[in-house]
Structure 1
Amino acid sequence: MSAEISIFHLFLEASILVQSVMLILLSFSIACWAMIFQRRKILRTAASELKAFEDKFWSGADLSKLYSEISAKPEVHGIESLFVSGFKEFARLRKSHIDNPQIIVDGTHRAMRVALSREVDNLETHLPFMATVGSISPYIGLFGTVWGIMNSFIALGSVKQATLAMVAPGIAEALIATAMGLFAAIPAVMAYNRFSHKVEKLENSYGNFMDEFSSILQRQSAAEQSSK
């Protein structure tokens, strides 16, 4: 408790600029933690939806019925968005009486590629901010520390007899800024690395599904053409 009181007291005794640095770093830390909990929930949901969809897709479900079922949802996210975009484009091209299966598959793949880009952008939301906080927070804290120590030594120069007790509070105030910079940066960097890895895994899984789904549609389209 005394440590908390002393840190708060040092914050109040710090200069306006050092206080501003501390408040900026505190706001960065709060924002990062809010984004960490949000991204964790979103990425976990995306991974569970991916597994559930793949189980249903590879169970041999009718693609038309699966498309109708997913399209009826108010919102479609993740791998379901890729499937809906691909199958919708596939159906549209077939209705256009295009006889070349490769043209149909290429158009379907492009539609899924657009959906993939959109989904990855959604998954990567806030990750650049975390990377920025992780990169600049130590330097912002160091700036506050340098400024505080500089002010302490300037004030020390106007005193005839200097003692450690005179400069210790000012240096302590300044060092808090560095500590807060690290406090904001370390979780941000760890979260960014972890979430980036998860997004990369999801993107790879989405890409694999696109290739496999395109192959299925190509075989189906070729079979329809040969039966005519």
Structure 2
Amino acid sequence: MNPFFNTDAATLSPIALFLQADWVVKGVMFGLLAASIWTWAIIFSFWRKLGRTRKATEVFERDFWKADDIDAFYKTRADEDLPSARVFAAGVAEWRRSTQGSVIDRGGTRERLATSMGAAVANEIDKLSDRLNVLATVGSVAPFVGLFGTVWGIMRSFTSIASQQNTSLAVVAPGIAEALFATAIGLFAAIPAVIAYNRFSHGINRIEARLNRFADGFHATLSRQLDRER
């Protein structure tokens, strides 16, 4: 018989431990496994999303700084689904609103440009960070949920000792093994979530710094153009 499917809890088979667990511990295990699957789905999708965003942003900024005509570049590239493109579009939109009158307030225009692009950067970072809170929640809560299952399983083991009036290891070992397995599943869900959260937070911070540098550079370009306006 395959030991993985053996229902003898002494084999420490994961399936055996799950099947022989109390219904409360089973619920804890099932919830933690679901959280682990959800975590890995987020990790893979987030990893691909950050990679695509980083590469596309590099291409967009490289093409922008090579462009000779900002208006022409705006017509062809402002609608791209990229954080840098939306920051760029926010800057151009504010520039057009602030310079359409006959009298231009240079100081006010510079402040509004900085505010508009800063808000665009913050909005893009909020969207990129949308599901990071799930990783943070799983990473912080899963060990305690597993610990709850462990405590419940150990309580059940002590109940078995009291009802059977037998302190042999054979009586208490299955319940303790089930209880510890709940903690193991909690750690299995939490550890990847914490590692991924820290790694992705670092990646988002780098993208935010890049967007802020792009916004500052574009602001300087528009500021020089503003000095030439009459």
Band the TM-score falls in, shorter-chain normalisation: over 0.9
Residue 225 (structure 2) pairs with residue 220 (structure 1): yes
Quick one: which of 200, 204, 208 aligns to 1:199? Answer: 204
User: Secondary structure of the residue that 2:165 maps to in structure 1?
Assistant: coil
User: Which residue of structure 2 lines up, in the alignment, with residue 105 of structure 1?
Assistant: 110
TM-score by length of 2: 0.92
Matches of 2:141 and 2:5 in 1, distance apart? 26
Paired AA for residue 94 in structure 1: T
Matches of 2:111 and 2:204 in 1, distance apart? 25
User: Which residue of structure 2 lines up, in the alignment, with residue 180 of structure 1?
Assistant: 185
Residue 68 (structure 2) pairs with residue 65 (structure 1): no
Q: Is the 8 A contact 1:86 1:112 kept in 2?
A: yes
User: Which residue of structure 1 lines up, in the alignment, with residue 3 of structure 2?
Assistant: 2
Deviation at 1:4, TM superposition (A): 5.5
Unaligned stretches of 5+ residues in structure 2: 7-12
Deviation at 1:100, TM superposition (A): 2.4
Residue 55 (structure 2) pairs with residue 48 (structure 1): yes
Matches of 1:215 and 1:39 in 2, distance apart? 33
TM-score by length of 1: 0.93
Paired AA for residue 4 in structure 2: A
Matches of 2:180 and 2:102 in 1, distance apart? 72
Identity level (%): 41
User: Secondary structure of the residue that 1:3 maps to in structure 2?
Assistant: coil
Cα displacement string for residues 36-60 of structure 1 (whole angstroms, at most 9, x for unaligned residues): 1111111111111211011111114
Quick one: which of 114, 118, 136 aligns to 2:123? Answer: 118
Query: How many residue pairs get matched?
Result: 223
Matches of 2:207 and 2:51 in 1, distance apart? 10
Matches of 1:65 and 1:52 in 2, distance apart? 17
Deviation at 1:77, TM superposition (A): 2.4
The runs of 4+ residues in structure 1 deviating greater than 6 Å are none
Q: CA RMSD in A?
A: 1.4
